[in-house]
Amino acid sequence: MPKLLFQGHGSLRLTADDGRIVYFDPYKGKGYDLPADIILVTHQHTDHNRVKRCAKKPDCRIITNAEALEGGSHNSFDIIIIHPKHGWSIRKKAEKWNAPNKLIIEPGEEIEL
C-alpha cells in the first residue's frame, strides 16, 4: 500500500507500492534516508528546494518548477498544505475548514493511501 510521510513545513515523501520514492519540496523534518527516484520542487524558495538532504538513486530525476513548465503550459490546481509558522494554533483553523475529503496530518506522521 502506498504511504505518504509528512516531514514538516511543505515537505512530503511518497512511497509507492512498487518501492519507488518521491520527495516533494525537501526542506524540513526527518525521513530523507530512502533513496529517491524522483524529487519534485514546486518553487525556488530555500524552504522548498533542499534536494541535497535527500538520498538519491543513481538515476534520480529532479524536476523543478522550471522543468515542469518547459516547452508549454500546465493545468493548475490548488493544493493547500497547512503548516505551523507560529505553533500549532493553525491546526484549530484547519479543523474548522470545511473541505471534502479533508485530511490533517502532523509532521512525522505517515499514512497509508
Give the helix/strand (H/E) hosting 14: strand 11-15
Domain membership of residue 90 (yes or no) is: yes
Domain membership of residue 74 (yes or no) is: no
Domain membership of residue 22 (yes or no) is: yes
Tell whether the model's pLDDT for residue 2 goes beyond 80.
yes
Residues 6+ apart with CB under 8 A from 14: 2, 3, 4, 5, 21, 22, 23, 24
State the average pLDDT over residues 28-55.
Answer: 89
**Mind listing the pLDDT tens digit for each residue in 88-103?**
566 676 677 666 666 7
Tell the residue number behind the cell numbers 502532523, with chain if given: 106
List the end-to-end C-alpha distance of the chain, in Å, as a whole number. Answer: 7
Rounded to the nearest integer, the mean pLDDT of the chain is 78
Domain membership of residue 73 (yes or no) is: no
User: Per the structure block, which three cell numbers stand in for 90?
Assistant: 493553525
76 band by pLDDT with thresholds 50, 70 and 90? very low
Query: Considering the chain, what percentage of its residues have pLDDT values greater than 70?
Result: 70
Range of the domain at 104: 3-68+80-112
Based on the structure, what is the number of domains in the chain? 1
